[in-house]
Structure 1
Amino acid sequence: MELIGRRAECRQLDEVLHAVRSGAGRALVLRGYTGVGKSALMEYAVRQAAGCRVVRVAGFESEKELAYAGLQHLCTPILDRLDQLPDPQRDALSTAFGLSAGPVPDQMLIGLAVLSLMSHAAEGQPLICVIDDLQWLDRASVRVLSFVARRLAAESTAIFMATRTDDPQIANLPTMEVEGLGRAAAAALLDTVWTGPLDERVRQRIIAETRGNPLALIELPHDLMGHELAGGFGMHSPAGLSARIEESFLRRVEALPHDTRRLLLIAAAEPTGDPTITWRAGALLGIDIKAAAPAVADGLAEFGVQVRFRHCLVRSATYRSAPLQELQMVHQALADVTDAERDPDRRAWHRAQAARGPDESVAAELERCADRARARGGLAAAAAFLEYATMLTLDPNLRVDRALAAAGAKVEAGAYEAAADLLDVVEQSANTDHQAARAELLRARLAYVVGRGSDAPPLLLKAARRLAPIDPALSRATHLHALQAAISAGRLSMGGVMEVAEAARNLSYPADPTLTDLLLKGFSTYCTEGIVPALPILRRAVAAARGDVPEHERNLLWLAGMAALPIWDGESWDVLSARHVELARRAGALAELPLALISRSMMLVFSGELTAAGVLLDELKTVTEATGLALGPEPGLVLAAFSGDQAEVRAIIESTTADIMLRGEGIWLSTAEFCEALLNNGSGDYAAALPLAERAAAQADLSSSSKRAEVELVEAAVRAGETSTAAEMFARLQEETSASGTDWALGIESRSRALLSEGPQAERLYLKAIERLGRTRMRADLARAHLLYGEWLRRERRRIDARAQLRIAHDMFELMGMAGFAARARTELLATGETVTKRTTAPSGPQLTAQEAQVARLASEGLTNGEVGARLFISPRTVQYHLSKVFTKLGISSRAQLADVLSSHES
């Protein structure tokens, strides 16, 4: 069938199909209002896709809450390739689809599994995926499809999505805006469907009022009386065009025989389009198979391999116009014929729609559905099941418990307004202290996830206190959560870290404490009593984290790494940060991976491994783009500060400070001040560094930035002539470093004391600092010790000795990429009479794109294509595509050559 007036749109679809046949992947969103022709254009694409494998799905309004329902319908024809997926991906997808039991799968791991599945399915012939009515597809499926659509680089796969509405999940995908037909095309279409006499004024009015909407042009003339078409003006404008079209379809449905209408209603309530279920439900209600004929003859529906309505508005008109009792009867019939073993969730949903009032058996079944949905990672579905179970519950206590569970699921699913509404109901109806405490905890969690600012710590603390006599373990976990929230809020918190720490210090702790207990007790003791009494507890917490950590406490590894900082245990920080990244990657815990990558990259930056930190931050960017998680600017900011990139540091601070203040995340203010202080110390601008370091060090929080600002403050104050300020801060710093006794701590202590010393004592301290720090992996601190010693030697007029130390410092800074400190060392060397050649940073030779460089680095470490793809959220085929370009650019022919060539290329 020729599509009138759609030449440009068809050409764009043809271009996508041509690219896919050539081995490239493409995605295209068709967006437009009801009836404008999106479905017709996708049917055109399907007809043009000769020789391709086509899979398709349409969203159904009644299935919008069933997690991964749409995705499963789409993928069912290609699940024969499931065994070809890597184990974590196969297990995640099988669990999401309810094909097997397992731990809750991460949504982005499911996305990677679908990408791999489609990649394998497209090996023999191009794969075309057609998704209609995306606005009614469940949110879990939309997020996964959006993830996949962005990663089709070399997949021979096309994804066409049609939607009526804007959706942030697909906002950045290539989009075709489908508009109404122009007047000439609209007139031509109208002429094809209305061949009788038509008054020209009415003809023009139809074209104008339909705004070129093809479905309206085809359907509405049939709904007008003959005298109206002959010259009357009976066609009035309703509230909306889609309502007018739906009204037209409704009149046609109402004209059908009773049994035909009921059969259409069964089909409208049954979202899978399975004719067997439709016929069996019809038989239960005494409907003969012949009842379908009038609907088919009128072009309203097809009853073939699948039951399909001519348009989604036929379905909605049929369903919405049915009386409540009729709907309940149809849903009960569908529940009776739906297999309880194979499809228990859909059966329960039908039973819920059929319920005529509170029904405990249905509510209990919906609760079980919620458990299954949660196990598959379908938080939105779990929330919907629990909310409906609440509505069907008569017992007041049980009703509140289910409402609490529903509110918790809504919070996890990101439905914050719905969660708040449920909590309003709970707080008015709570009958027990436990219910009231759980409601307070949920209210606090809601405040934390929505704002992560100053409101959350006092609410979490209030909830923790209320839980103490009811559930001590949950109370302690909530206290720790409150402490984390207070650390994040920093100086902007209404109560602050100290208030939470004071509360936690007075708690009773079990004889056999968990990692949660040790971290809470250690941090609260540190805040309220100082490092000496806290040291053994923090060491025990760090040791516990380095041992076997239960899965539910794995997300605390970053906090355990933070606990290693006040005790100056660089080795444990290294071990814990590396382990956290490894566990998160292995488990596919993509929601947890960003925090693990931040912790690891920070550790690498402080140890002077700036290139390795940059690689992790590239991965972090990939992960955050894939997951949509918003993170503060700390990782890139700290790297830019150590690199001496003044423009980047200031650009990040200027672009993020207003948003940070709005969100109430004061920890980032300390980070920004520390980074600017470090940057100014690196360039020798000590007067500028001093007030910044003072502000950051003055914060009584537990952030690494505040602690490290103390070190920057000592150096800046000494060089700015503020000796008393430097001595006061050194005394505070020494309390921790002396108690710790590690080489890192004592090395920093000796280096800082040397700045305040003179003569032979200063030299002994500098040498001691170099010896101590040389036994650690903290190469940035070691290089700074050589620099400070060299500067001291030059001022002592020992130029030859100074050159040796300054040359070591300069070369170390250059190799690490710490350009600001390298420039400072270069200036000092020049002052000794040394000739210094500045290392060139101009690129030479073939340049790799950012993704090519990432792929090349990971492949050079020995990772397989599948492992590289899992790390970068692309398919193995796309990895190979990038590697082939890398090989060509670098003039190599095998992976074995990559490491040497990359090392040489970067040098």
Structure 2
Amino acid sequence: MHADNELRGRRREQETLDRLLRDVRAGHSRVLVLRGEAGAGKSALLDYLAGQAPAGRVVRVAGVEPETDLAYSALQQLCAPLLEHLDGLPAPQREALATAFGLSAGRTPDALIVGLAVLGLLAEAAAQRPLIVVIDDAQWLDRMSEVILTFVARRLGEESVGLILAARPVSSFEGRPSSFEGSTSPFEGLRSPFEGLRSPFEGLPSPFEGLPELLVDGLAAEDARALLDAVLPGLVDASVRDRIVAETRGNPLALLELPRGLNAAELAFGFGSPAVDGGSALAGRIEEGFQRRIAALPPDTRLLLLTAAVEPVGNVPLLWRALGLLGIGADAAAPAETSGLIEIGTRVRFRHPLVRSAVWRAADPAQLRAVHRALAEVTDPDQDPDRRAWHRGHGTAGLDEEVAAELERSADRALARGGRAAAASFLERAAELTGDSAVRAGRTLAAAHARFASGAVARVPELLAAAELGPLDAVQQAAAERLRARVAFTRNTGRAAIPPLLDAAARLEKLDPAAARETYLSAIGAAVNAGRLGEGSGFRGHGAGGVDGGRGGDLRRVVEAAAALPDGDEPAGRLLAGMISWQRDGIAAAVPLLRHAVGEIPESRDLDLLWLTGMVVHEIWDDTEFLDRTARAVTVARSSGTLSSLPTALTFRATALIYAGRFGDATELLDEAAALAQTTAGPSPHPATAVILAAHQGRAEPALELIRALEVDALAGGAGWLIGVASYSRAVLHNGLGNYPAALAAAREATDFDDLAVLQWGLFELVEAAARTGEHGLAAVARDRLVERTQAAGTAWARGTEALARALAGSVPHLEDHYRSAVEQFAETRLTVQLARAQLVYGEWLRRENRRADAREQLRAAHDAFTTMGATGFADRAGRELLATGETVRKRHSGVREELTSQETQIVRLAAAGRTNPEIGAVLFLSPRTVEWHLRKIFTKLGITSRRELHQTVEMS
């Protein structure tokens, strides 16, 4: 094929790639996903890019369908030419990468550490000359390679690395197949080993979603006609030619391939009868064209193509050895090469992935198994044991314990490298080949655990059901029930999760009491999330109008069931006891239990229980735990590489930072959590945090849009707790804007139900809104409910809130004492938002008392604080009050801290603490070279020249 044909009509795409190369040569890193249908010309554009890139600095790999079950297979090919730079990485990263690639034995590497290692490896390789990494057919990358490369793509900064991936549109590969999946055998009766199989990736984010993309569409009509003219057999009527262009939508491969082998008569109506072919997908029609060409080849050539298609790496010596066992000679390759279907050089390369797919679909199942057996026979069991087991698994019909055991060993090796999806596929196939029912059940249960760990939660229930068909011992039964409970809570944390969690907990009571308590705790969490949407509660609590919030029947039912279990001294057991007391005895009785439970949670369990402790700290009014625990959780998740838990930790930390007045930092953490969740298929940032942040920022329309969206999602998911959050957030927004009637209505809705944490937030908003609108009776009732909760806690946070509520709803003789007490108490905390709000309402009261000088002092402090944190609604309210005192409101001048971004501030703190660039990079998921680049920018901003000056220039906090 000619380059000018391949790039016909691609000027826009070429210019984009040229700009990318210029940026990389200038020292910047760039990422681009070429997104287009099969045959759109993505590979040709990658060829163009590789040809324009610096000589010797291009690393190119491609995803292959059969490799999707082999962990790190694509990543290993990508990194192999760069391993000479391995010594430049920190020891933990070197070890993680070596373990992931099977180069050495070691503890299971977390995906995060492997990602940091690959990021560092690329940076080291690009230190002297720019590096271009080209990945074709990215939709067929194995899951671990996809996760790592997405992580790396989001973290490239100033390393002079270009990462360019080509992938089909999301709709083209949703439900990606797995080579080992199927109800019984993935081979019997199938024309393709992929046809009709379910995907282990159901429910996971699409590959590389959210990265910069360049859409590679079909050619424009003029270019498409010119390309078609080059391959049409003789003269074809112009109207027929136009129809062909329209039917192919300008797809270059379709234009080149579909007319092959057809005469003018066959082309008279386009590509055959519209009634027959009109509804088939374009990729399928291209594949059919390849199948016609394959069918015309000699039998030995077809078997050669099948063997090459099944051997995923393109290893030419191995291919010839396998063909020798099958009795196929070298002369069988000539017809396939002459027809342009395959190239056999230093590697085997198909003209297009659809050729490989067409070969597979045309294969006889028995012949396909024979090819796998031959490939298994010639694969070195020492050098490549897992690929050998993979071929043996595909080549075996019926039951075979030897092969099953080999697959199980491969699963163990995959788990040791962090390849959970690969391990699950090995184990599932091993179970299918297992005759002993007990062993089969155990392998299926292990596969279910691996699927859950890989994020493919949708597959777990059917695997558990299959495992339970065989005899499971008591330990296995407990493990199955516990996993079923985890699945239920992961898939739906609202009301729908309650019945399966209760069922699982009841079955676990005798099998594993500690697991039962943990499952009951999850059921309480689901009932708390269900809130006012739970059974027996409706939309309003016991006190309609927001004066005596209630609790739902779901929560009562769960608590009664959980209370029948003996108390446990493990962290989950202590938390469960506190939550039971909260429901049965009220918050005053529960506070000591909850405080003890939270305080006794070891660091090793912080991340596991953060989903609950992050809310409980509000019930005990402990701002120190709130801020310190969330900071520690992020640090632990980062340093340990617990990538699956990091988005949750970042989200709760962001919530803490909102109340600390650090809105910019909270925003960056939410962005990071969203990016990580998309990369790893982990939990998304909790939607409540972004809504609470928007409410405090005080921009009405964006905030209300988020609030409305949260309410819609909450109703759809049965999460009444989020409805409480939405109402509370609306109350905060309107109190900040001074729209007190709207704030009153929202606060009444927020306090209609005794939602964990949300009720106390809403009660304060209700006190202020009711007092401002003259609803003094309602303000007094809300104050009393709030005081009941604050007095049980007795912390500075609680005392400040109580004093402010008493001031807003209290009698005149004691108002100023309460206002002063509120300001003093909040000053002892790190809750900057609460302190500023106390200063604001105190200043407003002082102005109404005509004490203008005193009012200015409080209002000025509030205005400066709200302006600094970005709370525009409250800042404007404070500004209006300042104007009313006769003071001119000036814009606040930015200081050093405002000049630095949140990430730069983090780098400054770490550098001033003596951390090296690699250490800073490990904490912030950046390459050392990007850290150095940021430090140069920071030095320029601060007007300094070295790290030694950071201590004197930046205030550490």
Residues 490 and 183 (structure 1), Cα distance of their counterparts in 2 relative to 1, 3 Å cut:
same
Q: More displaced, 760-769 or 40-49?
A: 760-769
Question: Residues 454 and 301 (structure 1 numbering): CA distance in 2 closer, same or farther, change over 3 Å?
Answer: same
Cα distance, 1:286 vs structure 2: 5.6
Q: Which residue of 1 aligns with 2:349?
A: 308
Among residues 229, 232, 235, which one is paired with 1:200 in the alignment?
235
2:401/2:433 contact within 8 Å kept: yes
The structure-2 alpha-carbon separation of the partners of 1:647 and 1:386, relative to structure 1 and needing over 3 Å to count, comes to same
Whole-angstrom CA distance in 1 between matches of 2:388 and 2:930: 41
SS of the residue 1:701 aligns to: coil
Q: Which runs of 5+ in 2 are unaligned?
A: 172-205, 536-552
The separation in 1 between residues aligned to 2:950 and 2:613, in whole angstroms, is 36
Distance 1:718 1:680 in 2: 14
Which residue of the other structure, out of 884, 888, 896, is the alignment partner of 1:837?
888
| Alpha-carbon spacing, 1:328–1:105, altered in 2? closer, same or farther (3 Å) | same
Q: Which residue does the alignment assign to 1:700?
A: 754
Moved more, 316-325 or 61-70: 316-325
2:576 matched to 1:520? yes
Which residue of 579, 582, 587 maps to 2:640?
A: 587
State the alpha-carbon separation in 1 of the partners of residues 133 and 835 from structure 2: 57
Task: Kindly state the Cα deviation for residue 626 of structure 1 after the two structures are TM-superposed.
Answer: 5.2
- In the TM superposition, what is the alpha-carbon distance from 1:687 to its structure 2 partner? 4.0
Aligned sequence identity (%): 45
State the distance in 2 between where 1:41 and 1:535 align: 64
**Cα distance in 2, alignment partners of residues 61 and 297 from structure 1:** 25
Please point out which of 556, 564, 575 is paired with 1:498. 556
User: Would the aligned equivalents of 1:4 and 1:185 in 2 still touch at CA under 8 Å?
Assistant: no
The Cα of 1:872 is off from its aligned counterpart by 5.7
Length-normalised TM-score, structure 1: 0.85
Q: Which amino acid aligns with 2:294?
A: L
Aligned to 1:368: 409
CA shift digits 1:318-337 (9 cap, x unpaired)? 44434333332332232233
- Does the CA contact (< 8 Å) of 2:859 and 2:882 recur in 1? yes
Q: 1:352 Cα deviation (Å)?
A: 0.8
Inter-partner Cα distance in structure 2 for 1:837 and 1:106 = 56
Q: Is residue 305–residue 359 contact of structure 2 (8 Å, CA) maintained in 1?
A: yes
- Indicate yes or no: 2:242 matched with 1:242: no
Distance in 2 of aligned mates of 1:774 and 1:874: 36
Contact 1:434/1:467, CA 8 A, preserved across alignment: no
Q: Deviation string for 1:444-463 (max 9, x for gaps)?
A: 54454344332112322222
Matched residue SS, 1:776: coil
Residue 708 of structure 1 aligns to which amino acid in structure 2?
A: W
Whether the 8 Å contact between 2:71 and 2:143 is mirrored in structure 1 is yes
1:357 aligns to 2:398 (yes or no): yes
Write the distance in 1 (CA, Å) between the matches of 2:52 and 2:951: 46
Q: CA deviation at 1:357?
A: 0.6
1:744 aligns with 2:792: no
* Residue 177 of structure 1 pairs with residue 211 of structure 2: no
Please say if 1:389 is aligned against 2:430: yes
Q: CA deviation at 1:70?
A: 1.5
Aligned to 2:909: 861
Distance in structure 1 (CA, Å) of the matches to 2:162 and 2:855? 65
Change (3 A) 1:499 1:104: farther
2:595 to 527, 539, 542: 539
Change in CA separation of 1:51 and 1:804 when aligned onto 2, cut-off 3 Å? closer
One-letter code aligned to 1:860: V
Deviations 1:478-524 (A, max 9, x none): 122222223333322345433323322221134xx221221122222
Quick one: which amino acid aligns to residue 250 of structure 1? Answer: I
Whole-angstrom distance in 2 between the partners of 1:567 and 1:830: 39
Aligned-pair CA distance for 1:787 = 5.0
Counterpart of 2:550? none
- The answer for the alignment partner of 1:474 in structure 2 is 515
Does the 8 Å contact 1:38/1:178 carry over to 2?
no
1:656 counterpart = 2:726: no
- Secondary structure of the corresponding residue to residue 57 of structure 1: strand
Q: Is residue 2:192 matched to residue 1:141?
A: no
Confirm or deny: 8 A CA contact 2:258 2:285 kept in the other structure: no
- The one-letter code sitting in structure 2 at the alignment partner of 1:460 is L
Distance of aligned partners of 1:303 and 1:360 in 2 relative to their CA distance in 1, 3 Å threshold: same
Query: Counterparts of 1:325 and 1:619 in 2: how far apart (Å)?
Result: 49
Q: Is the 8 A contact 1:351 1:362 kept in 2?
A: yes
**1:89-104 correspondence runs (5 A):** 89-101=93-105, 104=108
What SS is found at the alignment partner of 1:128? strand
1:187-226 alignment runs, 5 A limit:
199-201=234-236, 209=244, 211=248, 223=261
Deviations, residues 105-137 of structure 1 (Å, cap 9, x unaligned): 454554443333222222233323232333322
TM-fit CA distance, 1:580: 0.9
Report if aligned partners of 1:568, 1:742 keep a CA contact under 8 Å in 2: yes
Give per-residue Cα distances to partners, 1:394-429, cap 9 Å, x unaligned: 334444444444344444444455445545656777
Of residues 53, 62, 68, the one that matches 1:64 is: 68
Distance 1:434 1:307 in 2: 49
- The structural deviation recorded for 1:71 is 1.9
Q: What letter matches 1:179 in structure 2? A: G
Query: What are the within-5 Å matches in structure 2 for residues 698-737 of structure 1?
Result: 698-702=752-756, 704-737=757-790
CA displacement, residues 69-123 of structure 1 (integer Å, 9 cap, x when unaligned): 1222222111222332345544444443333455554545544433332222222
- Contact 1:430/1:436 (8 A) holds in 2: no
AA at the equivalent of 2:59: V
Q: 1:662 to 1:859 in 2, by over 3 A?
A: same
| 1:576 match | 629
Q: Specify the alignment match of 1:328 in structure 2.
A: 369
Shift of 1:840: 1.0
TM-score after normalising by structure 2: 0.81
Structure 1 position 630 matched with structure 2 position 630 = no
- Give runs of aligned pairs for residues 411-810 of structure 1, distance below 5 A: 411-422=452-463, 425=466, 445-494=486-535, 496-510=554-568, 513-545=569-601, 548-550=602-604, 554-557=607-610, 559-610=612-663, 613-614=666-667, 616-617=669-670, 619-620=672-673, 623=676, 630-702=684-756, 704-758=757-811, 761-788=814-841
Q: Distance in 1 between matches of 2:351 and 2:874?
A: 70
Residue 208 of structure 1, CA deviation: 6.2
Structure 2 counterpart of 1:85:
89
Cα RMSD over matched residues? 4.2
Provide the secondary structure at the position in 2 that maps to 1:838: coil
After TM superposition, the structure 1 stretch with the greater mean CA deviation from structure 2, 376-385 or 795-804, is 795-804
SS, match of residue 165 in structure 2: strand
Once the two structures are TM-superposed, the CA of residue 579 in structure 1 deviates from its matched residue by 0.9
Q: For residues 292 and 416 of structure 1, do their structure 2 counterparts lie closer, same or farther at Cα, with a shift above 3 Å needed?
A: same
- Distance in 2 of aligned mates of 1:813 and 1:215: 59
SS of corresponding position for 1:565: helix
| Aligned-partner SS, 1:4 | helix
Distance in 1, Cα, partners of 2:696 & 2:268: 79
Q: CA deviation at 1:45?
A: 3.4
Greater relative contact order structure (CA < 8 Å, 6+ sep): 2
The one-letter amino acid of 1:631's match is P
Q: Aligned pair in 2 of structure 1 residues 138, 541: CA closer, same or farther (>3 Å)?
A: same
- The number of equivalent residue pairs is 884
The farther-off stretch of 798-807 and 466-475 is: 798-807
Read off the aligned partner of 2:10 and give its amino acid letter: E
Aligned mates of 1:810, 1:889 — CA distance in 2: 26
1:174-193 Cα offsets, whole Å, 9 max, x none, are 324253686777666765x7
How big is each residue's C-alpha offset from its partner over 1:515-552, in whole Å with a ceiling of 9 and x where there is no partner? 1221122222222222344333323222223xx433x6
SS of 1:638 mapped into structure 2: helix
Residue 174 of structure 2 is matched in structure 1 by none
1:582 to partner: Cα distance: 1.2
